Structures are given as structure tokens and as C-alpha cells.
């Protein structure tokens, strides 16, 4: 399986990234991607900053099924250098500069995901949960004067 990352819109606020899953050899169950799984790397390839929030919230841990030969993509809205809000719970502060951005999907553990939105695939009950770590390709992003 692989994850592909692309920048859809680097100019708008928030910036929009697209994460696409494909290449599954077997049917597998995955957790929906989260914006805080995006990592911004400086030119030395160190993580430039961590995501933060000012809100304590809870939410669903919904999942999706990826079938062999299928591709599914999600848009992530990254609030860069802006205050967290109820619409953008997670934000990241980045100084001006060039960054490499990658998406890191990681899941280990034994837990049930609650189907909060009642849209679970009919195959979820017979589909194994994918466990491990996948890292996407990297894309470039330039931040100028505190904005993307």
C-alpha cells in the first residue's frame, strides 16, 4: 500500500493538501487521516514544528475500507500561522522558509473504532485493521512573512 501527498492549494488559508491511499494487496480497514499527521520538515529534514490546539474535544474514530485496486483521497485543511478555532482545531506555527511536507500514517493497537457517523462499510466486520507506519512522498511548501 502507498500514500500519495499533493498540495492542492498552498495560497489559501487554510492550505489544502490531498492524501490518497492506493495499492492495497488485500482489503484493509484504516482510520481516516488527520491534519496533524502532516509533518513539516526544515531544510535539514528535522521536524520544524508540532501541531497545537487550544481546545479539548472528542470526536469519532471512523474508518474506511481500502480494497485492492482502489484509490481513495481526502483533503486536509492545514491552518498554518493562524489561531486555532472551532472550525480549525489544529494549527501549526512556521517561520518563513522552504519546507518539505509529508504525511505519516501510523496505527498500532487493539481498539474498536466507534462508527459515529453510521457510514461504516458493510465489509468492515470482516476486514482486518491495517497496522504499521506508512510515509508519503514529500511535497514542497514555501512560507513567507508568516503565511503560506
Residue identified by cell 469519532 is: 60
Residues 47 and 138: beta-carbon distance below 8 Å: no
CATH of the domain at 132: 2.60.40
* Mean pLDDT across 43-57: 88
What mean pLDDT is predicted for residues 72-98?
89
Domain assignment present for residue 134? The answer is yes
* 10 inside domain: yes
The pairing of strands 132-135 and 15-22 is unpaired
Q: Residue 16's pLDDT is what?
A: 95
Range of the domain at 18: 2-143
The predicted-structure confidence for 109-141, as pLDDT tens digits, reads as follows 766 655 555 555 566 667 888 899 999 999 999
For 16-49, letters b (16+ CB in 10 Å) and e give bbbbbbeebeebbbbbebbbbbbbbbeeeeeebb
pLDDT tens profile 6-38: 999 988 888 999 999 999 999 998 888 999 999
Residue 148: inside a domain:
no
Evaluate whether residue 83 is within a structural domain: yes
Q: How many domains does the chain have?
A: 1
- For residue 13, the model assigns a pLDDT of 81
Amino acid at each position: 500500500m502507498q500514500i500519495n501527498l499533493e498540495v492542492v492549494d498552498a495560497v489559501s488559508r487554510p492550505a489544502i493538501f490531498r492524501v490518497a491511499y492506493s495499492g492495497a494487496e488485500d482489503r484493509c480497514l484504516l482510520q481516516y487521516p488527520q491534519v496533524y499527521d502532516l509533518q513539516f520538515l526544515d531544510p535539514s529534514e528535522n521536524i520544524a514544528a508540532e501541531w497545537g490546539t487550544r481546545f479539548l474535544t472528542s470526536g469519532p474514530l471512523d474508518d474506511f475500507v481500502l480494497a485492492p485496486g482502489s484509490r481513495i483521497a481526502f483533503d486536509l485543511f492545514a491552518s498554518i500561522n493562524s489561531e486555532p478555532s472551532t472550525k480549525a482545531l489544529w494549527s501549526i506555527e512556521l517561520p518563513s522558509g522552504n519546507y518539505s511536507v509529508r504525511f505519516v500514517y501510523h496505527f498500532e493497537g487493539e481498539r474498536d473504532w466507534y462508527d459515529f457517523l453510521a457510514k461504516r462499510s458493510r465489509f468492515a466486520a470482516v476486514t482486518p485493521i491495517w497496522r504499521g507506519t506508512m510515509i508519503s512522498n514529500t511535497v514542497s511548501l514555501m512560507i513567507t512573512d508568516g503565511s503560506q
